């Protein structure tokens, strides 16, 4: 049994690395796009807020697995047209980048709602104080609403990153060449015919990464949300 674990340790180590790549690259891209879109979703102009709301409703209202299928297999139906744009075809033909795009758009939709609610719930007193100081709307946003809302959104956003970590397990449906954790477990099962052990190892690895993420976010919350704690 020890030799079995030693034989498959590099495979699972690579799976952890691929899973972390999928999680953090997708979360970062989703966060970068979600922050301005969350602000746009609060706009009173329907030409600005409606497209953002439609994007959010679609990706929150459909399963992640279907989104992966639509991107990878759906875009494959237009391969002749996409080949006319070499740089785009080089991206969408690769399962890895299709997974990154699908995960990024999915987490972006959820992150928009997290920060939209956080920005919207900024205490009116803070905004009134900023207006009294003569700040412009843009100054109020990046000096008051954004930093305050970002800190308040941190606990909810940490859950979204963990959900994204678990969602990466669905990447196996597009035959990712560079296997993630679940792909490594499937490979081990197919070779050794063990039905329980590979998935137990995968579960333990996901659990360990989840605990690490919780620890990191708790440290961030303790540092950035300390001002919300009641004074002794």
Residue 202 resides in a domain? yes
In angstroms, what CA-CA distances link 77 with 37, 47, 69, 80, 87? 30, 31, 12, 8, 17
Identify the sign of the CA torsion 79, 80, 86, 87. negative
For 77, the domain range is: 2-224
Residue 142 resides in a domain? yes
Rounded to 5°, the CA angle 147-149-151 comes to 70
Residue 231 resides in a domain? no
Give the pLDDT confidence score for residue 69 in this predicted structure.
86
Give the pLDDT confidence score for residue 145 in this predicted structure.
83
Give the pLDDT confidence score for residue 22 in this predicted structure.
92
Residue 232 resides in a domain? no
Give the pLDDT confidence score for residue 221 in this predicted structure.
79
H helix runs in the chain, sequence order:
2-41, 46-61, 64-69, 75-76, 79-82, 86-92, 95-120, 124-132, 137-140, 146-167, 181-192, 197-224
State the pTM of this model: 0.86
Residue 229 resides in a domain? no
Give the pLDDT confidence score for residue 128 in this predicted structure.
83
Q: Mean pLDDT for each 10-residue chunk of the chain (232 residues)?
A: 74 90 94 92 88 93 89 78 78 83 94 90 83 82 82 89 90 73 86 86 93 90 66 53
Spell out the residues 6+ positions from residue 150 whose beta carbon is closer than 8 angstroms to its own. 115, 118
Euclidean distance between CA atoms 166 and 207, whole angstroms = 10
The answer to whether the CB of 115 falls within 8 A of the CB of 38 is yes
Give the pLDDT confidence score for residue 26 in this predicted structure.
94
Residue 58 resides in a domain? yes
DSSP string, 175-203: T-SS--HHHHHHHHHHHH--SSHHHHHHH
Residue 230 resides in a domain? no
Residue 103 resides in a domain? yes
Give the pLDDT confidence score for residue 94 in this predicted structure.
81
Q: Kindly report the CATH number assigned to the domain that includes residue 200.
A: 1.10.3720.10
Number of domains in the chain: 1
Give the pLDDT confidence score for residue 24 in this predicted structure.
94
**For 17, how many CA atoms within 13 A lie in the half-sphere containing its CB?**
7
Give the pLDDT confidence score for residue 186 in this predicted structure.
85
Euclidean distance between CA atoms 197 and 165, whole angstroms = 21
The answer to whether the CB of 95 falls within 8 A of the CB of 75 is no
């Amino acid at each position: 049994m020890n030799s079995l674990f030693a034989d498959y340790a590099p495979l699972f180590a690579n799976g952890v690395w691929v899973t972390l790549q999928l999680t953090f690259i997708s979360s970062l891209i989703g966060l970068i796009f979600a922050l301005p879109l969350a602000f746009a979703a609060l706009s009173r102009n329907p030409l600005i807020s409606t497209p953002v709301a439609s994007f959010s409703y679609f990706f929150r209202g459909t399963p992640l697995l279907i989104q992966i299928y639509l991107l990878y297999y759906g875009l494959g139906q237009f391969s002749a047209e996409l080949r006319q744009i070499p740089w785009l075809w080089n991206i969408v033909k690769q399962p890895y980048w299709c997974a990154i795009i699908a995960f990024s758009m999915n987490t972006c939709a959820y992150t928009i709602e997290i920060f939209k609610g956080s920005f919207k719930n900024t205490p009116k007193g803070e905004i009134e104080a900023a207006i009294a100081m003569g700040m412009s709307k843009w100054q109020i946003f990046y000096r008051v609403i954004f930093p305050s809302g970002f800190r308040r959104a941190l606990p909810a956003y940490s859950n979204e990153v963990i959900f994204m970590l678990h969602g990466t397990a669905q990447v196996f449906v597009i035959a990712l060449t560079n296997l993630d954790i679940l792909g490594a477990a499937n490979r081990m099962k197919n070779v050794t015919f063990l039905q329980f052990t590979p998935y137990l190892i995968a579960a333990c690895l996901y659990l360990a990464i989840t605990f690490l993420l919780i620890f990191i976010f708790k440290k961030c919350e303790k540092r950035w949300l300390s001002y919300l704690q009641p004074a002794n």
